[in-house]
């Protein structure tokens, strides 16, 4: 089974990218960072949010969208508040790329218009501008994993001082 791919296009807030890195590490998803970014990868805010999960992370860096698309074949799904369909209306195949834009601007509208059938959104009330990027990524990741029945992930936990019946 091919891993899920999470793509951040021009992320600006290191804490968001750190949280997303941790989500990717904990779920086995690959992280793709498309520049230019609003921080450096040695930013301590980024590392702090990712904590001790960096050794579990599969991460690739790109100079820009042209570089990213030249090196990857998709299928691509674009998460945007402007999309005409819900993220739950799509079946995410193995190896899918979930693509997310800048915290302050989203993805380029030209890219969205060219790929309307692959644009998805999380439903919100009319007056809400958007969810936090790291929350949106987590929702998208877990929907794609749910569709795979969470293959390869532990689905039970252990108590420290007790036993489950």
Binding residue ranges for S-adenosyl-L-methionine: 101, 122, 130
Which residues touch 109 (CB under 8 Å, ≥6 apart)? 82
Structure tokens at 34: 């498309």
Which region holds residue 28: left if phi is over 0, alpha if psi is between -120 and 50, else beta? left
Q: Binding site, residues?
A: 101, 122, 130
Would you call 104 helix, strand, or coil by DSSP?
A: coil
| DSSP conformational letter for 3 | P
User: Pick from 49, 6, 11: which is nearest to 29 by CA?
Assistant: 6
């Amino acid at each position: 089974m091919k891993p899920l791919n999470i793509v951040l296009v021009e992320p600006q807030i290191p804490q968001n990218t750190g949280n997303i890195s941790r989500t990717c590490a904990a779920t086995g998803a690959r992280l793709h960072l498309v520049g230019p970014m609003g921080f450096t990868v040695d930013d301590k805010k980024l590392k702090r949010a990712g904590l001790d999960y960096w050794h579990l992370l599969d991460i690739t860096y790109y100079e820009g969208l042209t570089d990213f698309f030249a090196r990857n074949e998709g299928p691509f799904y674009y998460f945007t508040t402007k999309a005409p369909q819900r993220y739950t209306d799509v079946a995410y195949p193995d190896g899918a790329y979930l693509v997310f834009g800048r915290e302050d601007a989203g993805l380029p509208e030209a890219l969205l218009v060219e790929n309307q059938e692959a644009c998805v959104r999380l439903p919100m009330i009319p007056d809400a501008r958007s969810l936090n990027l790291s929350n949106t990524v987590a929702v998208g990741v877990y929907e794609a994993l749910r569709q795979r029945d969470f293959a390869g992930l532990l689905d039970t936990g252990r108590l420290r001082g007790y036993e489950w019946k």
